[in-house]
Structure 1
Amino acid sequence: MDRYFPVIKIHGAAEDRGRQHGTLLKERIHQTVEFYQKQFQLPEEQILGIADQFRKSTMAFREDISIEIEALAKAAEVDSLWIYALNGRTELLNLNPMECTTLSFKKQSLMGQNWDWDSELEELAVILDIEKEDGHRILTMTEPGMIGKIGMNHCGVGVCLNFMTIENYQPYGVPLHVLLRTILDSKSLREAQSLITSQLPGKVGNILISNGNGEILDIELAGDEYFSIPVEDLFVHTNHFLSKIDYDLMLFPNTVGRYDRAKELLNRLDDPSIKSIKDILKDHGNGTYPICRKRFSHPWLTDDTSITVTTIVMDLKRLQFHITRGNPFDNPFTVFSLKN
């Protein structure tokens, strides 16, 4: 396997972007659909019924994104409802919070995270380099068929995501990954906030949004509710709620262990920098629940294997996107620039 993620460049209007995505990643999209068909562990009729609600909500919210998704599905020769299901994978996988450690250094306009998930995704994930008709450019690490995920744009707006869970969750509204793409389509943090606020209910997870001016916003999504979390100069979020959600943290030792270890490392920092954020994300000092995960037993995955698929660090001031394929302890960072 190559040490670097493929970079897939798409450009133009929504239909053009979708067609390019579906054509260039056709085989990977089919593999990704097959992967999630196993992971969702729901009857196909139920999955596609939820996906149809995602389709209707997305069309009402962002017609251009619906056009992009439909063109993507057509080019990849996949039922478009499965593409909506992929973009709603976070909602459909509301299971056990064992994905991802996110960090931000507010004054330095740095943010980054580990994306911990099934080892199969290390071979499937890609970097999308998107240029829209107006010249707006996005770099995002994503899964084939998903229109956006963790990433940043040329305006210095970046976004990270943490998977979380609540009891008795029923998804509604647009898929979370459509909101991530909307953030990446935004020219400022305030624009992103204004666009997504009406669509926050119906989802579960944590979204961290920042920009090159040191502004930062952390939002915990908890079904019908959402909470804005105060962000310190040095901030960490894993996969449990920092707000008032009441549940037994002892049920989730993995996320608490990573959070506590990251806080310990942050408290030791004298000079927050790109290097120090990378050092924390590659730490495996907590041998039971390491921040950097080479291999971990995951009870909800069908193959029982979770790893750090990628580490991403974004310098929103310098417009640099740093990324590894595989865990950052064993693999090098590649640096991309969004400067003209």
Structure 2
Amino acid sequence: MVWQGVPEIVCRDATPTEIGTLHGSLAKARIHRAIENYTSLYQETADLTWSEALERASKYVEPLEANVPDLVEEMRAIAVAAEVDFLDILALNHWTADKEDTVFLAQNWDWVGETAEATVFMDIQPQGKPRMQMFGEAGLVGKFGFNDKGLGVCMNAIRAGVVDSTKLPVHLAIRKVLECSSFEEALASINERGLASCITFTVADSTGAMASVECSPRGNVPIQPDHEGTVCHTNHLYAPAQTARVKDHPSANSFSRLTRMQELSKGTAPSFKSIRSRMSDEEGTPVSICRSRPPGAKGMEKMETLSTMIMDLKKGKAELSLGRPSLSPEIRILTMDS
């Protein structure tokens, strides 16, 4: 039977093979369409290709055959009748965009526009240490980036007058983070060496361990991800343990940008596409997430978005673009493969 173009599958007192065969034969075209739909959906929401979805689904075959052999039999019959592979049917029945499958780290780098003429890419591997890829100003030994151990780091400048010259300057500290192999090792490096001034490092590794670490010469405070596994930070301190001992002087737009990013991130699966969309947001322009230079601005208020880096730490891959992401600039793919 068909109602408004939708086929109805009716099967009584039937074996798993009989149910699957009827399902696959009556809905063959719609099964092919479902595979097309989920191929796009997996790519857009989880940056996952269909072949990768099939590979993940294959890991479930043996446990499912032991636990629900009747449903495995039914799915196999659907596949035969619909003339698709069994793993195609299994992948349709197994949504794989759970949070532990992806670990993304990203930031817009806002700074005075003239800095764009003094930037460099760095792909280096010190002896006995991880290979790391960074982007930042020429002459600096460390900036935001990721390494071949699956660890990445971003940074937010904090305006505060607390300084201790016995501890590490910001860019040396971030370099030491990128020489680490895990989040735990990176956090230990930050804590053991200390920071000479205030900064926030957002650090994550491929296992999903992550935090925004508000650093100051008076100590460091990690801000853990929320219940959705997301942590956001802009250019002000907000960990109670840090604000109790350090007075910072942020611009008002730091608070509005943080609130906006938290709103945009709520319930949104991480992917290169979805994160780039958030980084391109211009609500509150010119001092928006995607920032343009305010008219008549002077000094540090001349800041604009100079680059966007989005890192997939599970895959060891990053997308880097120069300029405001809202303008759809060319994207450079960074990997640890070559």
TM tier, shorter chain? Answer: 0.5 to 0.7
2:305 and 2:189 map into 1 onto residues whose CA distance is: 31
Pick the structure with greater CA Rg. Answer: 2
The equivalent position to 1:319 in structure 2, one of 300, 307, 316, is 316
Please report how far the alpha carbon of residue 338 of structure 1 lies from its aligned counterpart in structure 2 after TM superposition.
0.8
- 1:268 is displaced (CA, Å) by 5.1
Q: TM-score, normalised by structure 1?
A: 0.63
Which one of the candidate residues 236, 241, 244 is aligned to 1:240?
Answer: 236
1:163 CA drift (Å): 0.6
Which residue in the other structure is 2:202 paired with? 208
CA distance in 1 between counterparts of 2:251 and 2:224 reads 22
Question: Is contact 1:261–1:286 with CA below 8 Å preserved after alignment?
Answer: no
Deviation at 1:107, TM superposition (A): 5.9
- Cα separation, 2, equivalents of 1:253 and 1:169: 20
- Aligned 8 A contact 2:210 2:225 in 1: yes
Question: Which of these residues, 290, 293, 296, is aligned with residue 295 of structure 1?
Answer: 293
Residues of 1 paired with 2:298 and 2:175: CA distance? 27
- The structure 1 residue matched to 2:334, chosen from 327, 336, 339, is 336
The secondary structure found in structure 1 opposite 2:284 is: coil
Contact 1:106 1:216 in 2 (8 A): no
Task: Verify the 8 A CA contact 2:163 2:196 in the aligned structure 1.
Answer: yes
Alignment match, 1:165: 159
Q: How many residues align?
A: 233
**Larger relative contact order (Cα-Cα within 8 Å, sequence gap ≥ 6):** 1
Q: Deviations over 1:140-166 (max 9, x none)?
A: 012111011000001111001001123
Any idea what SS the aligned residue of 1:237 has?
Answer: coil
Q: CA deviation at 1:191?
A: 2.1
Distance 1:115 1:256 in 2: 17
Distance 1:212 1:268 in 2: 21
Task: Please report how far the alpha carbon of residue 135 of structure 1 lies from its aligned counterpart in structure 2 after TM superposition.
Answer: 7.0
- What is the letter of the counterpart of residue 257 of structure 1? S
Report % sequence identity: 26
Deviations 1:4-57 (A, max 9, x none): xxxxxxxxxxxxxxxxxxxxxxxxxxxxxxxxxxxxxxxxxxxxxxxxxxxxxx
SS at match of 2:275: helix
Change in 2 beyond 3 A, CA 1:200/1:128: same
Shift of 1:192: 1.9
RMSD of the alignment, in Å? 2.4
Q: Give unmatched runs, 5+ long, in structure 1.
A: 1-104
Amino acid in structure 2 at the alignment position of 1:188: S
Q: Which runs of 5+ in 2 are unaligned?
A: 1-98
Q: Following superposition of structure 1 onto structure 2, how do residues 175-190 of structure 1 map, counting pairs within 5 Å?
A: 175-190=169-184
Asked whether the 8 Å contact 2:159–2:248 carries over to 1, the reply is: no
Decide whether the 8 Å contact of 2:150 with 2:313 is kept in 1. Answer: yes
